Amino acid sequence: MGCASTSQQRETQSTDTTSASANDERQTIGTKESDSYELLMTNRTGKEIIALSIKDSLAADFPGNMMDDDARIDPGETVRVFFTPSEDDAALKEAQASDKAINTLYDIEFVDSDKKTFAIYDINLERVTQFDLLYSDGTAFITYFDTETGEKVHTQNAAIAAAEQRKAQAAAQIEAEKAAAVAEHTQQGSASSGTDTGGGQAYTPTTTPAPAPTPTPPPAQAPSQNPDSCFGDDGPVINF
């Protein structure tokens, strides 16, 4: 039997989502609005999930927990998630309708029963209707069938690469902060070395003067001569 066509795979996914919407026994997270994304999420983490949040990838922080305080998503459980973009996200989504080159990406964050927080980044919800939520070796990721290509997408490798990049960026930031602190400390030390910080006079280093040169003795003076004679009282005097 040959492989199903892409259109058949899309129809199958659409039918599954519709059936899930009709199943009132399935746990629902979020409130359905006219512009909501409707997603089927299966917990494959092996742990209970106690919190879930979704945001635009460009947003700085995740919003509050979409789940009720006492709600839990059991391991293996599939839930229906309604996610409604904020007004800013909706404006970008409206722009998508006229420009297919614009894609809004979203991040998904969840907390498990061990109170550990995980996040999956840069998911195009326009091409997802249902997905499995997993983590391995501390990295969270999802698997899903792309609604446009029909291909199965596995985000683990991309998640690992993104996690390594974030670690490198964090390490670089720490090193930059350390270097800035050292430079500031050095600058402050240089400024304070010539500044009176204790209320007295500024410190001025003393300089030991060079020793005075030894005086040279004057030359010996020749004895005077009698102009009328070449001989003195002590005999002849020879002038040099």
Are residues 40 and 17 in contact, defined by beta-carbon separation less than 8 angstroms? yes
Q: Per the structure, how many domains does the chain have? A: 1
pLDDT digits (tens, 9 = 90+) for 29-68: 999 999 899 999 999 999 999 999 999 988 889 999 999 9
Q: What's the Rg (C-alpha) of the chain?
A: 44
Q: What is the mean pLDDT of residues 88-93?
A: 57
Quote the percentage of the chain above a pLDDT of 70. Answer: 64
Task: Report the range of poorest mean pLDDT among 88-102, 105-119, 172-186.
Answer: 88-102
Determine the pLDDT at residue 189: 76
Query: Quick one: pLDDT at residue 53?
Result: 96
Indicate which CATH number applies to the domain containing 40: 2.60.40.2890
Residue 130 lies in a domain: yes
For 123-155, write each residue's pLDDT tens digit: 999 999 999 999 888 889 999 999 999 999 999
pLDDT digits 0-9 by tens, 212-226: 777 666 666 655 555
User: Does residue 45 fall inside a structural domain?
Assistant: yes
Beta strands in 49-183 (DSSP E): 49-56, 78-83, 106-112, 117-123, 130-136, 139-145, 152-154
CB 104 within 8 A of CB 54: no
pTM: 0.59
Q: Which two tokens stand for residue 123?
A: 């998911």
Q: Choose between 121 and 103: higher pLDDT.
A: 121
- Mean pLDDT on 81-101: 67
- In terms of residue numbers, what domain contains 26? 6-86+103-154
The dihedrals phi and psi of 53, each to the nearest 5 degrees, come to -150, 145
- Which two three-digit tokens encode residue 21? 């919407």
Per the domain annotation, does 163 fall within a domain? no
Residue 76 covered by a domain: yes
Sheet of 106-112, strands arranged across: 49-56, 106-112, 117-123
Residue 240 has pLDDT above 70, yes or no: no
Phi (first) and psi of residue 180, to 5 degrees: -65, -40
